[in-house]
Amino acid sequence: MTLPEFHLKYNRAALGCLLFFIGTPLALLLFWRLAPSSWILRFELQNQMGRMAYDTSRSAGPEAVPILQKYLAHQNPGTRFITISATGAYIDSHQGSSQPLITALCQLAQHDASLSVQQHSIIVLRSVSGTSTEVDLTAVKLMHHQDETIRTAAKELLLIRITRGIDLSPEVCTVREQLRPALERADPESCAAKILKAFLEECGPAQNE
Residue 110 lies in a domain: yes
Domain count for the chain:
1
> 26-38 pLDDT, tens per residue?
444 444 454 567 8
Residue 35 lies in a domain: no
Residue 48 lies in a domain: no
Contact 80, 104 (CB under 8 A): no
Residue 49 lies in a domain: no
Of 33-37, 110-114, 122-126, which gets the smallest average pLDDT?
Answer: 33-37
Report whether pLDDT(60) > 80.
yes
- Rounded to an integer, what is the distance from CA 110 to the centroid of its chain? 15
Residue 89 lies in a domain: yes
Q: Residue 56, class by beta-carbon neighbours within 10 Å (0-12 exposed, 13-18 middle, 19+ buried)?
A: buried
Residue 16 lies in a domain: no
Contact 208, 177 (CB under 8 A): yes
The pTM for the full model equals 0.81
Residue 10 lies in a domain: no
Rounded Cα distance between 118 and 105, Å, is 9
- Give every CB contact of residue 87 below 8 A, 6+ residues apart in sequence: 57, 68, 72, 101, 104, 105, 124
Residue 9 lies in a domain: no
Q: CA nearest 126: which of 164, 96, 169?
A: 164
* Sequence letter at residue 73: A
Give the range of the structural domain holding residue 111, as residue numbers without chain letter. 64-203
- CATH number of the domain to which 143 belongs: 1.25.10.10
Rounded Cα distance between 33 and 18, Å, is 23
Residue 113 DSSP label = S
Share the mean pLDDT of the chain.
Answer: 85
> 187-205 pLDDT, tens per residue?
888 999 999 999 999 997 6
* Sequence letter at residue 188: P
